[in-house]
Structure 1
Amino acid sequence: MAMTAARAVEPSDDIEPLTVEQTRIHIPDGHRLGSKRPPRLGDALDFWQFAGAAANVAMQMARPGVGHGVADSKVESGALMVRPWKRLRTTASYLAVAILGSEEEKTAFREAVNVAHRQVKSEPGAAVKYNAFDRNLQLWVAACLYIGFEDSYQLLHGRMSPEEAEAFYRTAAPLGTTLQVPLDMWPATRVEFDVYWNEACRLAVLDDKVAAYVDDLLHLRMIHWYFRVFFGGLLRFLTAGFLGPYFREQMGVQWRPIDQRRFENLFVFVGFVNRFIPRFVRYLPTYVLMSDVRKRMRKHRAMI
């Protein structure tokens, strides 16, 4: 398994429509433990959701408006390559608020993000036009986040049935509506989401500038060298595993059948071990982040 970000070809109307097999990772068939109620997005708050974080950011950046917005951002206080841990905290806090927060907490976090987003817009004459308040770009980011939750949940618990997948999806709209995505923009059903996703992926193409940025991300150059020495191999493996074939091709990631088997076997093992870890332990990082957000609100401190 190797990673070298590569420039992709611009989409054309002559290209065949993308399929789920191209744009999503493979989830093996397997027995899933029964549940007394339909699954919800909140059930995917296991700490293993963070395993695909780098892959999710890379997918988001494959959309030019997002990629250039991140690469050109003047908001260094939350820049991924400058302050990666703060960026991780901010994103994870957003997810915690979107899923667990009250309407008051969502509004407060939205306003805090808006302050940073006002500075993220393209300069006149820029090769790629973007604005952080573009609802289409925000919908794309929210869709990527949903993909991350659904993939990690199924890897740990087994493939969901269509009915379970629909129930899980019905709780996901706040990933977008917590910011500027209106509810009527969020695909109404899980089937409609697949249609949106495959069409939106055709707009996900890397140019040289964003490809170089993503290459730094895939090789974890934003963290200290000693973390890369001890954890770099595992993190690169997990990142590649959480990328669908279409994105691996975009980013020049080589992924062999043996890599896929190792990836799936890893999560069979993790899923088995998770059964014996209390839920509050597995969800502890998210609960801690939610507590931090509430503390910041009480003390009128910066949210992000």
Structure 2
Amino acid sequence: MHDDERELYRRHAAEGVLLLGGGAAILLQLADPRVARGVAMHSDFRDRPLDRLLGTLDYVYAVGFGDDDMVATAVRTVNARHAPVRGPADDDAPAYSAFDADAQRWVASTLLAAALGLHERLHGPLDTETADVIVRNYRLFGSRLQATHEGWAESRAEFDAWWDERIAVLQVGREARFVAHALLSGTSDLPFGSRALLPPIRLITAALLPPAIRDAYGFRWTPRASRTADAWLRAIAIVWPRLPRLVRHAPLHASLRRVKRRSRYAGLEPRGRR
């Protein structure tokens, strides 16, 4: 990847406002039955969503912004968490594995789709060159694990065509709806005070989902809900660019500090314990 392309991607990815698309990305991930089964069978995500969020952020930011040691630490952490996440097909449920390359590409694609959708809702359409660069950089989130570059789009147009085909065959199952309800209803273990943010987060999450997926999750998407979500997004679009860069990039720097600490400690461990 050329340095100028990398820099363009980093200007996009450093903005903490993209975290507002996290809910939509998670629900899209769960709409794949393989991911939903893995989460339901092996994860306490629905009870401790903040831990999953921080783990995802640390990996994404390390891959996008970290040095080689930080990337290696983040990849090692994810692989260790993924190792037990596997199971055979059961009745109508598919087999699943966290090392499934196609499932990893799917997870990376949901992060990309949510980020593109949110960026354009806040700032307007991306130009073709910028969008193509962002698309190509998001493939790193899968290829740093078991996925390869094979099957990943080289352009926004190619990604959109592939995305539309995948969305058309998704089926939101019971396990996905159960986890989504726990995540967005406030029944999970959220930090004190954060439940007050759930109403706007639910609206923004629903606004970023494709209509068919939004309906499958049971969102009541009325004209009033749509107008309210638009109002929230307009307000964020006005306020966010006026915030200091230190605030806008705070999640990035917090994640890199966590990964750097783990990388430093890993370097002090005896080789046999890694």
TM-score grouping bracket, smaller chain normalisation? 0.7 to 0.9
Query: Counterparts of 1:255 and 1:245 in 2: how far apart (Å)?
Result: 9
- Provide the TM-score with structure 2 as the length reference: 0.86
How is 1:245-264 mapped onto 2 (pairs within 5 angstroms)? 245-264=211-230
Instruction: Give the equivalent residue in structure 2 for 1:48.
Output: 17
Higher helix proportion (structure 1 or 2) = 2
Instruction: Give the equivalent residue in structure 2 for 1:207.
Output: 173
Q: 1:82 to 1:212 in 2, by over 3 A?
A: closer
- Provide the TM-score with structure 1 as the length reference: 0.78
Q: 1:280 to 1:43 in 2, by over 3 A?
A: farther
Residue identity opposite 1:104 in structure 2: D
Greater Cα offset, 279-288 or 214-223 = 214-223
One of 83, 89, 95 as aligned partner of 2:54: 89
Contact 1:135/1:181 (CA < 8 Å) preserved in 2? yes
Q: Deviations along 1:43-97, whole A, 9 cap, x unmatched? A: 2332222222222111100000001110111x5xxx2123222111101111111
Residue identity opposite 1:96 in structure 2: Y
Instruction: Give the equivalent residue in structure 1 for 2:101.
Output: 135
How is 1:42-121 mapped onto 2 (pairs within 5 angstroms)? 42-73=11-42, 75=43, 79-121=44-86
Q: Deviations along 1:170-210, whole A, 9 cap, x unmatched? A: 33221222222211231122211112211222342122233
Instruction: Give the equivalent residue in structure 2 for 1:13.
Output: none
Q: Deviations along 1:216-265, whole A, 9 cap, x unmatched? A: 22323213596475233222222222222121121121212332233223
Instruction: Give the equivalent residue in structure 2 for 1:241.
Output: 207
Q: 1:57 to 1:47 in 2, by over 3 A?
A: same
Query: Counterparts of 1:228 and 1:80 in 2: how far apart (Å)?
Result: 17
Between the two structures, name the one with larger relative contact order (CA 8 Å, sep ≥ 6).
1
Query: Counterparts of 2:242 and 2:174 in 1: how far apart (Å)?
Result: 46
Query: Counterparts of 1:243 and 1:153 in 2: how far apart (Å)?
Result: 14
Q: Deviations along 1:262-303, whole A, 9 cap, x unmatched? A: 32232222222222212222001111111110111101289x
Instruction: Give the equivalent residue in structure 2 for 1:21.
Output: none
| Runs of 5+ consecutive residues of structure 1 not aligned to the other structure | 1-36
Residue identity opposite 1:163 in structure 2: E
Q: 1:155 to 1:266 in 2, by over 3 A?
A: same
Query: Counterparts of 1:63 and 1:218 in 2: how far apart (Å)?
Result: 19
Q: 1:114 to 1:237 in 2, by over 3 A?
A: same
Contact 1:120/1:131 (CA < 8 Å) preserved in 2? yes
Query: Counterparts of 2:41 and 2:157 in 1: how far apart (Å)?
Result: 35
Aligned residues: 262
Query: Counterparts of 2:236 and 2:173 in 1: how far apart (Å)?
Result: 36
How is 1:1-304 mapped onto 2 (pairs within 5 angstroms)? 39-73=8-42, 75=43, 79-123=44-88, 125=90, 127-224=93-190, 227=193, 230-300=196-266
| Runs of 5+ consecutive residues of structure 2 not aligned to the other structure | 1-5, 270-274
Contact 1:38/1:164 (CA < 8 Å) preserved in 2? no
Query: Counterparts of 1:226 and 1:41 in 2: how far apart (Å)?
Result: 32
Query: Counterparts of 2:61 and 2:191 in 1: how far apart (Å)?
Result: 29
Query: Counterparts of 2:175 and 2:242 in 1: how far apart (Å)?
Result: 45
Instruction: Give the equivalent residue in structure 2 for 1:24.
Output: none
Query: Counterparts of 2:117 and 2:10 in 1: how far apart (Å)?
Result: 11
Identical-residue share of aligned pairs (%): 26
